[in-house]
Amino acid sequence: MVKTMTQLMTEDGIRCDGRRLDELRNISIKVGVLKNADGSAYIEFGKNKILAGVFGPRDVHPKHMANPDSGILRCRYHMSPFSVTERKNPAPSRREIEISKVIKEALQPSVILKDYPRTVIDVFIEVLQADGGSRCAALDAASVALADAGIPMRDLVSACAAGKVADRIVLDVNNEEDQEGQADMPVALMPNLGKVTLLQLDGMLKPEEFKTCMQTALVGCKRVYEIQRKALMEKYFQNGEQ
Amino acid sequence: MVKTMTQLMTEDGIRCDGRRLDELRNISIKVGVLKNADGSAYIEFGKNKILAGVFGPRDVHPKHMANPDSGILRCRYHMSPFSVTERKNPAPSRREIEISKVIKEALQPSVILKDYPRTVIDVFIEVLQADGGSRCAALDAASVALADAGIPMRDLVSACAAGKVADRIVLDVNNEEDQEGQADMPVALMPNLGKVTLLQLDGMLKPEEFKTCMQTALVGCKRVYEIQRKALMEKYFQNGEQ
Amino acid sequence: MVKTMTQLMTEDGIRCDGRRLDELRNISIKVGVLKNADGSAYIEFGKNKILAGVFGPRDVHPKHMANPDSGILRCRYHMSPFSVTERKNPAPSRREIEISKVIKEALQPSVILKDYPRTVIDVFIEVLQADGGSRCAALDAASVALADAGIPMRDLVSACAAGKVADRIVLDVNNEEDQEGQADMPVALMPNLGKVTLLQLDGMLKPEEFKTCMQTALVGCKRVYEIQRKALMEKYFQNGEQ
Amino acid sequence: MNSQILDQLKRDKILDLLKTGKRIDGRTLDEQRQLIIETGVIPKANGSARVKLGNTEIITGVKIQLDKPFPDLGDKGILICTAEILPLADPNAEPGPPNEEVIELARVVDRGIRETEMIDLHQLVLIENKSVIGMFIDSSVIDSGGNLFDACSYASVAGILSCTVPKWEVKDEVPTLVEGVTSKPPIKTLPVSVTMARIGEYIIVDPTKDEESCMDARITITTNSDGNICAVQKGGSDGFTPEQLVQCSETALTVGRKIRKQFEQLM
Amino acid sequence: MNSQILDQLKRDKILDLLKTGKRIDGRTLDEQRQLIIETGVIPKANGSARVKLGNTEIITGVKIQLDKPFPDLGDKGILICTAEILPLADPNAEPGPPNEEVIELARVVDRGIRETEMIDLHQLVLIENKSVIGMFIDSSVIDSGGNLFDACSYASVAGILSCTVPKWEVKDEVPTLVEGVTSKPPIKTLPVSVTMARIGEYIIVDPTKDEESCMDARITITTNSDGNICAVQKGGSDGFTPEQLVQCSETALTVGRKIRKQFEQLM
Amino acid sequence: MNSQILDQLKRDKILDLLKTGKRIDGRTLDEQRQLIIETGVIPKANGSARVKLGNTEIITGVKIQLDKPFPDLGDKGILICTAEILPLADPNAEPGPPNEEVIELARVVDRGIRETEMIDLHQLVLIENKSVIGMFIDSSVIDSGGNLFDACSYASVAGILSCTVPKWEVKDEVPTLVEGVTSKPPIKTLPVSVTMARIGEYIIVDPTKDEESCMDARITITTNSDGNICAVQKGGSDGFTPEQLVQCSETALTVGRKIRKQFEQLM
């Protein structure tokens, strides 16, 4: 299906997948989906299908990586060979290594590591099917999986992108918009503490657009937060506020 | 030389290399051929030419691999670049890694590891020239090399393949039969304990043929055992029963 | 520019870059050019531009490499991707690994390691632009960087190549002469102790030429030594004999 | 490791139960755990399956793309099965290049499908010696609960069965994708892998992780729709008697038939 | 690590000074260190630069060579920026394959130049889908004194500006080098990367190594000549408030303008 | 390491003997160990040799196959010598990628054969710039008893001398194998590598493993049939005086002549 720029949005601001400018894709989160992991979550975010599993706090191997004053957090973001159009080599790409790092740094302020010196908390993320915004969706699942593992946390981390498509700022950029749009800005927020823990941008924004785009993303993060909270409630309180 | 299926066997059951159905290729084993290794053996099995060297029991590196309750056995099966028709990359292939594992597990029941906690016995196998059945020949040499190294053992391990060629079950599949035959089944036996420690199959066998094929291979293993025993006697008792 | 053999030297013994047979290229050495390294030097030797940085004596990682009776010396010779005509892959080539080893062994006799058991002295060499004789130039910079780091030394190491071009023995082979000449012989000398610590040869020399070539290179080494000494004096004694 | 005390206690308990013909999860010795197969779980892939075998869970995706044939195999398409144990599937799994266990797992899964000749590779040729269809069947273990061999094999087979193969037309020696036209892959037979463990003198089908941690030896036997035995892999640090192996081959056929029925419902 | 005692003491001292509006090296909060750019330092490369930003020093070389385009990007030339921290640049740098910090560094530098569309990649095409010009911009950190992101970015931009691009003529579908003819690369805009660190509630521009060792979070913002914001990368183990981020974007524009003037003198 | 006590004792004993002109195995200082060369030991290879030099044993195989020339070397065939120390050859050898010692070994063996121009590479060209004959000479150390440099070099030379080179005819720009026709490789000269060690003030030829463990420095000199010196490699953690090096070059020529006679018997 060849898509030209003009098809990314109608004149009425309806996007190529039928959404309005400020509308999220469908999101569903399931908590505790894995038996081996200490905590886990599965998210579907648009066409993203992502698993997150958490182990720890546990002993660090190799030992010289341990910190005597604090626990450490490690993160691996990995894409399955079948998750993208062209089969992906299973060895981690430089892109995956960078995303693993920014996700780790986005989760880190939410996790209370001081109480677990010499240990590690491992967050493993597997992207089974990738769509636009996979790093945000991955973060959303990972934060819920950390909570499911019983790790003490200051806040959840809720992530969502915004972007610029056909000269307008839109919430939650999908794959086509990411490929052919003008800007993509993934954002992660600790909603209760009001801190942005991930911010990236690829594209071209005027200074005013930069502000609007970030505000739009933050609104999205807060909506994602409600979905994360509900998913955790559903697992931990039978009568989750459905 | 192009070989068609019909040429693999004559109507009288004579195979492409002149052997009868139940006939082994020429096998010769020399014990103690290496000066540095604690034990060693060289086998010629048909056109296979294979060296096995054993070191140990010795300290384990890296140390975290050591088992405080038992010795461990490690095995590396490796093919020389010049051992096959097309020059082989010297880095170990996935095939070599798998064969290293099944050989290790085939040798393991024969070796008494309990008495050597925290140590390792290393078995290194080098295929200098490869023919059909190289993993069996490698095993035969490795077991003799373990005995030569003075490692306490419950039994030798004797290995030989059988297979299906031109609709008949044959002993000791050679290279052409392996490439163009219908089945190849490498088997390893501890002859005195009556235990099969390696069994693989590639091909297609009816249930009855499966039994016959295994029995055929076991007969071969026992014949190989006599050759292994004789080789050890020749080294350790000057008047080996030649 | 296509260069034929005859163009490498005029009948009067003037070389393709205008030098006489026994003339060095321009050499300049700056000491202490890096802020992080414990010692450093930058050399321009013809068109070679090479940095050397020294760290240590410091703890060895991984620890099992440490020697309880002596310090150890490590050396990495590395070429920048942009240092040669065709962009070079940044991963170390087999050539770079070999040169790292011969440089380490050429420096080793000059460094007093006994007083620093369990430690390492790391010598890192980066070839920013490569010309003929880069290993000699690298050695010259590395030895000065070791001195700059305050490592106790028995002598400096001074290196220079000689070779055979158009049937004549020449000092300090440049890139064209290395590529199209008849022999290249890099030599390193501890000038005060009179010991040759590096000697390699690629090419074809008659026995008499071998001696002449080595003697020529040794004269070059001694001249390089004066330049190294002057560079160190300039840093450590304001009134360096410029 | 068998030598560890916990494993020894586990083994004692499991053996005590086996003497009475029972297993810790209540199964009989030749009974598999429940197998749940769901296909089409990765819509972007050409085929996919999620398989649960007891506590073990696998996701397999199939990617189909134009490829060049292997040298000397110019009359065959390409079929490659891989398997990996994701680090989230097991506390002991480690990220990084595959170790020998994972390599064995992948190769045994691949061999079962290859040696039964499940797919007619000749039908995947577009231009002999030049251009063929490649099928990449990648299995990821997402929860490790024992018997990864069978679970990955089932997920791979189900993934293949769920496939739609794109159509390429050869025009002027160049294969060109024909939009919107697909077909099923050329299936010739249904391979079923059955893995058994020996604990003491008992042979049990489809071992759990606990059973595997104290087994003596392991055997995986793959049969095809015609009741042939096509691939065998013995594993583990001890052996089998020849009689036990014959018994295993019969069990593999019997148990295999039930699984094959589940596959047939996917066709 | 923040937890180490020395870093804590350093942080206390730095924070005390910041409360009075000062930094340990005497700069104001939004003041960059002196930037010294020298080009043509590697004559054998097609372009090169040596950049000093305070105690940080970078050498960048640009190599230009014939290449094949990426699949699906047949109408664009190739531009690849890399970065590495030489082991002589830092006592903690280690030889060997790049770790995650170095990979992030290289990717952020590359993204800044790519997303601003500094170079018109369409002009690097020789034969569509077949033959293009490839530009490899390799930066080596030779002295590490903090803010490697900006220093590598400046060195890369300066290296590109100093480039002479060889000329290839296409004859009979074969690109042939035309000796002695070169041109400047097709520059569309000048990217400027500005990195800021948050320490406590203070945002400081162009952090030194000491400031980085005790910062809470980091942000790198790249702007182009038209005053657009084109690339952002947040790093570090804590976050920013949205207000701080807006402030950072404004600072990036203001500070960026000064740096861009330095670049313009190279053109 | 020299510093270890055992090595020191060994060194003391070896030096005491050297003062009386003797070595621990009874040889004179400039005497090589017995060299036994057997060729054709790997019939499936195009050439092969097993070499014993005292307790050191090497197997070399030569594979000859069609190849593409290196860029800019389109008028030359390909010749690559490798060497590896098998883990069964030495208790200290480790499986895995080659370390710096093994890389040096391989490169010195390769250089000796390359720089003497043993093989006329121009005669290995089938179609200039397109298609050449490649010779891969792979040496495996199977027993390590000192002086691997010379032993691998001798095995490589013997392997080459034993080679039969297949014939390819060029038809319509395509090289085609001519069955049953072979020739000898185009040999121009016979390289002989001679390695010497310095222990104290003594220079000894063909050091054993014990002698190597306490030597001060090492030198390998390769000469050709015309008595030229073609390749030199100094190794070890100390140096030589210029006079010692001249002495070594003379010894390399004298000792080399005897070895060359052994090679001539293989031709």
d(C-alpha F105, C-alpha F59), whole Å: 15
Query: How near does any CA of chain E get to the CA of A57, in Å?
Result: 18
Q: How confident is the model at residue F7 (pLDDT cuts 50, 70, 90)?
A: confident
d(C-alpha B236, C-alpha C9), whole Å: 70
Give residue B4's pLDDT: 47
Q: Which residues of chain A does E111 touch, with a Cβ-Cβ cutoff of 8 Å? A: 202
Q: CB contacts < 8 Å between B and F, how many?
A: 91
Mean pLDDT (whole number) for E60-79: 95
Is residue C13 assigned to a domain?
A: no
Q: Any chain F CB within 8 A of the CB of B82? A: yes
Query: Residue D47 in contact with residue D37, Cβ under 8 Å?
Result: no
Taking residue E80's Cβ as centre, other Cβ atoms within 10 Å add up to 16
Q: Do chains C and F touch (3 or more CB pairs under 8 A)?
A: yes
Q: What is the 3-state secondary structure (H, E, C) of chain A?
A: CCCCHHHHECCCCCECCCCCCCCCCCEEEEECCCCCCCEEEEEEECCEEEEEEEEEEEECCCHHHCECCECEEEEEEEECCCCCCCCCCCCCCHHHHHHHHHHHHHHHHHECCCCCCCEEEEEEEEEEECCCCHHHHHHHHHHHHHHHCCCCECCCCEEEEEEEECCEEEECCCHHHHHHCCEEEEEEEECCCCEEEEEEEEEEECHHHHHHHHHHHHHHHHHHHHHHHHHHHHHHCCCCCC
Quote the tokens at residue A58. Answer: 């546990």
Mean pLDDT (whole number) for F217-230: 98
Is pLDDT of A242 > 50? no
Is residue C241 assigned to a domain?
A: no
* Helix or strand (DSSP H, E) at E60: strand E56-67
Q: Any chain D CB within 8 A of the CB of A83? A: yes
Is pLDDT of F242 > 60? yes
D135-155 tens-digit pLDDT: 999 999 999 999 999 999 999
By CB atoms closer than 10 A (0-12, 13-18, 19+), residue F112 is buried
d(C-alpha B121, C-alpha B65), whole Å: 13
Measuring CA to CA, which residue among E53, E111, E59, E102 is closest to residue E81? E111
Q: Do chains E and C touch (3 or more CB pairs under 8 A)?
A: yes
Q: Which residue is associated with the tokens 């070099």? A: F153
Q: CB contacts < 8 Å between A and E, how many?
A: 103
State which of A12-16, B1-5, F79-83 shows the largest mean pLDDT: F79-83
Query: How near does any CA of chain C get to the CA of F115, in Å?
Result: 6
Is residue A4 assigned to a domain?
A: no
Q: Any chain F CB within 8 A of the CB of C109? A: yes
Domain boundaries, chain D: 15-264
Is pLDDT of B239 > 70? no
Q: Write the CA distances from E64 to E48, E74, E127, integer angstroms.
A: 12, 18, 16
For chain B, the average pLDDT equals 94
Is pLDDT of F35 > 50? yes
Query: Residue D164 in contact with residue D43, Cβ under 8 Å?
Result: no
Q: Do chains E and F touch (3 or more CB pairs under 8 A)?
A: no
Q: Which residue is associated with the tokens 């071969």? A: B220
D203-226 tens-digit pLDDT: 999 999 999 999 999 999 999 999
Taking residue A18's Cβ as centre, other Cβ atoms within 10 Å add up to 8
Q: What is the mean pLDDT of each run of 10 residues along chain C (242 residues)?
A: 61 93 97 98 98 96 88 97 96 97 98 94 98 97 98 97 96 93 97 98 97 98 98 80 43
Quote the tokens at residue A115. Answer: 């109480």
Is pLDDT of E248 > 50? yes
* Helix or strand (DSSP H, E) at E147: none
E15-264 in CATH: which number?
Answer: 3.30.230.70
Helix%, strand%, coil% for chain B, nearest 5: 30, 35, 35
Is residue A15 assigned to a domain?
A: no
Helices (H), chain C: 94-107, 134-148, 175-180, 207-236
**Angle at alpha carbon of residue D119, lines to D114 and D124, rounded to 5°:** 115
Query: How near does any CA of chain D get to the CA of B237, in Å?
Result: 31
d(C-alpha E42, C-alpha E49), whole Å: 8
User: Which of helix, strand or coil describes residue D73?
Assistant: coil
Is pLDDT of A203 > 60? yes
Q: Any chain F CB within 8 A of the CB of C219? A: no
For chain A, the average pLDDT equals 94
Chain-chain contact of A207 with E249 (C-beta, under 8 angstroms): yes
Quote the tokens at residue F5. Answer: 């006590």
User: Which of helix, strand or coil describes residue C32?
Assistant: coil
Overall size of chain B counted in residues: 242
Q: CB contacts < 8 Å between C and E, how many?
A: 91
Give residue F145's pLDDT: 97
B98-144 tens-digit pLDDT: 999 999 999 999 999 998 999 999 999 999 999 999 999 999 999 99
Taking residue A102's Cβ as centre, other Cβ atoms within 10 Å add up to 24
Q: Which residues of chain A does E104 touch, with a Cβ-Cβ cutoff of 8 Å? A: 98, 101-102
Query: Residue A51 in contact with residue A140, Cβ under 8 Å?
Result: no
**Angle at alpha carbon of residue E16, lines to E12 and E21, rounded to 5°:** 140
Taking residue F79's Cβ as centre, other Cβ atoms within 10 Å add up to 19
Burial letters F65-78, b for 16+ CB under 10 A, else e: eebebeeeeeebbb
* Helix or strand (DSSP H, E) at D212: helix D209-213
* Helix or strand (DSSP H, E) at D226: none
Burial letters B123-148, b for 16+ CB under 10 A, else e: bbbbbbbbbbbbbbbbbbbbbbbbbb
Q: Any chain A CB within 8 A of the CB of D42? A: yes
* Helix or strand (DSSP H, E) at E13: helix E5-19
Predicted TM-score (pTM) of this structure: 0.95
d(C-alpha F43, C-alpha B129), whole Å: 8
Is pLDDT of F156 > 90? yes
Of C55, C76, C82, the CB nearest to E42: C82
Is residue C82 assigned to a domain?
A: yes
Domain count, chain C: 1
Give the type of residue at D172.
D
d(C-alpha D88, C-alpha A38), whole Å: 9
Helices (H), E23-140: 100-115
Is pLDDT of F229 > 50? yes
Query: How near does any CA of chain E get to the CA of A114, in Å?
Result: 9
| Best residue of F84, F101, F104, F219 to probe chain C, by most C CBs closer than 10 Å | F104
Q: Any chain A CB within 8 A of the CB of D54? A: no
Note the maximum CA span of chain F. Answer: 70
Chain-chain contact of A203 with E230 (C-beta, under 8 angstroms): yes
By CB atoms closer than 10 A (0-12, 13-18, 19+), residue B92 is middle
CB within 8 A of E104, min separation 6: which ones?
A: A98, A101, A102, E233, E235
Q: Any chain E CB within 8 A of the CB of A110? A: no
Q: Which residues of chain D does B70 touch, with a Cβ-Cβ cutoff of 8 Å? A: 1, 3
Q: Which residues of chain D does A128 touch, with a Cβ-Cβ cutoff of 8 Å? A: 41-42, 59, 61, 140
Please give the DSSP secondary-structure letter assigned to residue D236: S
Taking residue D227's Cβ as centre, other Cβ atoms within 10 Å add up to 11
Query: How near does any CA of chain B get to the CA of F95, in Å?
Result: 8
Query: How near does any CA of chain E get to the CA of A143, in Å?
Result: 15
Q: Any chain F CB within 8 A of the CB of C194? A: yes
Q: Which residue is associated with the tokens 């930058």? A: C42
Phi, psi of F155 (to 5 degrees): -65, -35
Q: Which residue is associated with the tokens 């908590």? A: A31
Containing domain of residue A32, as a range? 26-236
Chain-chain contact of B35 with F145 (C-beta, under 8 angstroms): yes
Concatenated DSSP letters of chain F:
-TTSHHHHHHHHHHHHHHHTT--TTS--TT-PPPEEEEE--STTSSEEEEEEETTEEEEEEEEEEEEPPPTT-TTS-EEEEEEEE-GGG-TT--SSS--HHHHHHHHHHHHHHHHTT-B-GGGGEEETTTEEEEEEEEEEEEE--S-HHHHHHHHHHHHHHT--EEEEEEETTEEEEEEEEEE---B----EEEEEEEETTEEEES--HHHHHT-SEEEEEEE-TTS-EEEEEEESSS-B-HHHHHHHHHHHHHHHHHHHHHHHTT-
Q: Any chain B CB within 8 A of the CB of D201? A: no
CATH classification of the domain holding C32: 3.30.230.70
Q: Which residue is associated with the tokens 């400047």? A: E184
B190-219 tens-digit pLDDT: 999 999 999 999 999 999 999 999 999 999
d(C-alpha E196, C-alpha E208), whole Å: 10
Is residue A64 assigned to a domain?
A: yes
d(C-alpha A66, C-alpha C178), whole Å: 51
Q: Which residues of chain F does C105 touch, with a Cβ-Cβ cutoff of 8 Å? A: 234-237
d(C-alpha F201, C-alpha E23), whole Å: 62
Chain-chain contact of A87 with D138 (C-beta, under 8 angstroms): yes
Could you give the ipTM of this predicted complex?
0.95
Query: Residue C211 in contact with residue C221, Cβ under 8 Å?
Result: no
Give residue A59's pLDDT: 94
Region of residue D184 (phi > 0: left; psi between -120 and 50: alpha; otherwise: beta) = beta
Phi, psi of B228 (to 5 degrees): -60, -45
By CB atoms closer than 10 A (0-12, 13-18, 19+), residue D166 is middle
Give the type of residue at B204.
M
Give residue D7's pLDDT: 80
Q: Any chain C CB within 8 A of the CB of E55? A: yes
Is residue C9 assigned to a domain?
A: no
Rg (CA), chain F: 20
Chain-chain contact of E61 with C81 (C-beta, under 8 angstroms): yes
Of D95, D140, D142, the CB nearest to A34: D142
d(C-alpha D153, C-alpha D205), whole Å: 15
Quote the tokens at residue A154. Answer: 């200051």
